[in-house]
Amino acid sequence: MKQKTIKKSIELVGIGLHKGVSVKMVLEPLGENSGIIFHRSDLGVDIPLCPNNVIDTTLATVLGNENAKVSTIEHLLSAVHAYGIDNLKITLDNEEVPIMDGSSIGYCMLLEEVGIVSQNAQKKALAIKKAIEIKDGEKFVRVEPSDKTIFDFTINFNHNSIKEQHYKFTYSTKAYKEEIARARTFGFLQEVNYLRSIGLAKGGNLTNCIVLDESGILNKEGLRYKEEFVRHKILDAIGDMSILGMPLIGTYISFAGSHKLNHFLTKKILSQSDAYEVVEIPDTATTGEEQLSYAT
């Protein structure tokens, strides 16, 4: 399988979830082996995608350095990764990626509109060779060896509209668009009110977030999937794990995982050279339906 980028540049204007500020985003193709690079056009600063550039995971995944930062990158990265894009420049004129409708389906449609092209260099992936785990009390995230890419997630909230949910997702681009991409971010009304009181969640509303009060879901249209909450956690995890810099071949398992635990997991994986192997993906996939696999 060859590396990929987009056919041409494309731009959109949207609102950031936390700052509520308008931001223009431009996606541009990059050459082979360039990776994913964020660029703050208002500051003239590049921020390459890598675990060492993650500076905050409190409410979203944030990349940055001493000169600039880019926030809430996980939904966009999830779609970019799901469509197999290896090389891409993401230019923003403000610090936060547009929230769109709170899912990644808008980014999927954007990538399909602009088109994706194969490049000459071979695509590489990070194949997990031994189990690696990060724990925080009962919460954990773990990767295990597998010849496929699988995300197996469980959540348990003390709320009648969520309770315990579990979903197991085997990666392919087609399955991602059908099973994961439309799952929206969610929050509780009491928490949203608090976040707004400290200057966050200013861009959040019922058009880009599932909002719950004590009795149920406030969105009149209801849910898009029966397990939309846990599916969105998978969407986030795919975006967070893409910060490894190449596709993951292995099984990701989590109970109540978070951006913070995902970040610690990526760093722990890369710190143990015997935990993974960088492999080339064979040329056996069909465009738009590819499933990463590797005979370990």
Over the stretch 130-177, which tens digit does the pLDDT of each residue have? 999 999 999 999 999 999 999 999 999 999 999 999 999 999 999 999
Residue 159 known to be catalytic: no
pLDDT at 287 over 50: no
* 73 and 129 together in one domain: no
Residue 291 pLDDT: 59
Do 135 and 266 fall into the same domain?
yes
Q: Which residues pair with 64 in a beta bridge?
A: 69
Instruction: Tell me: do 103 and 193 sit in the same domain.
Output: no
Residue 200 above 80 pLDDT?
A: no
User: Last residue of a domain, which of 65, 90, 122?
Assistant: 122
- Residue 191's pLDDT is what? 80
How remote is the C-alpha of 142 from its chain's centroid?
17
- Say what the pTM is: 0.94
Percent of residues, the chain, with pLDDT higher than 70: 94
Residue 252 has pLDDT above 50, yes or no: yes
Question: Do 152 and 275 share a structural domain?
Answer: yes
Would you say residue 44 lies in a domain? yes
CA distances from 106 to 53, 89, 131 (A): 26, 18, 34
Is 196 found in the same domain as 66? no
Whether 155 and 264 share a structural domain: yes
Report the percent of the chain where pLDDT is more than 90. Answer: 84
Q: Are residues 75 and 104 in the same domain?
A: yes
Burial class (CB in 10 A: 0-12, 13-18, 19+), 245: middle
Please check the confidence at residue 199 and state whether its pLDDT lies above 50: yes
Domain count, the chain: 2
Per the prediction, the chain carries an average pLDDT of 93
- Which residues have CB under 8 Å from 257's CB, separation 6+? 139, 140, 141, 153, 233, 237
Q: Which of 81, 232, 259, 263 is catalytic?
A: 259
Question: d(Cα 187, Cα 66) in Å, to the nearest integer?
Answer: 31
Residue 295 within any structural domain of the chain: no
Final residue before a domain boundary, out of 90, 122, 154? 122
User: What mean pLDDT do residues 42-61 have?
Assistant: 96
The CATH number given to whatever domain includes residue 164 is: 3.30.1700.10
Name the domain boundary from 107, 122, 137: 122
Residue 294 included in any domain: no
> Do 142 and 268 belong together in one domain?
yes
**Are residues 245 and 129 part of one domain?**
yes
Report the pLDDT value the prediction gives residue 17, as an integer from 0 to 100. 85
pLDDT for 294:
42
227 assigned to some structural domain: yes
CATH number of the domain bearing residue 81? 3.30.230.20
pLDDT, residue 192, reads 74
Same domain, 236 and 137: yes
CA distance 48 to 56: 15
Does residue 285 sit within a domain?
no
For the segment 34-51, the average pLDDT, to the nearest whole number, is: 98
Domain assignment present for 288: no
Q: Quick one: how many helices (H) and strands (E) in the chain?
A: 6, 19
State whether 158 and 265 are in the same domain: yes
State which residues form the domain around 156: 124-280
Quickly state the pLDDT bin for 286 (edges 50, 70, 90). very low
Q: What is the mean pLDDT of residues 211-236?
A: 96
Judgement on whether residues 231 and 163 belong to the same structural domain of the protein: yes
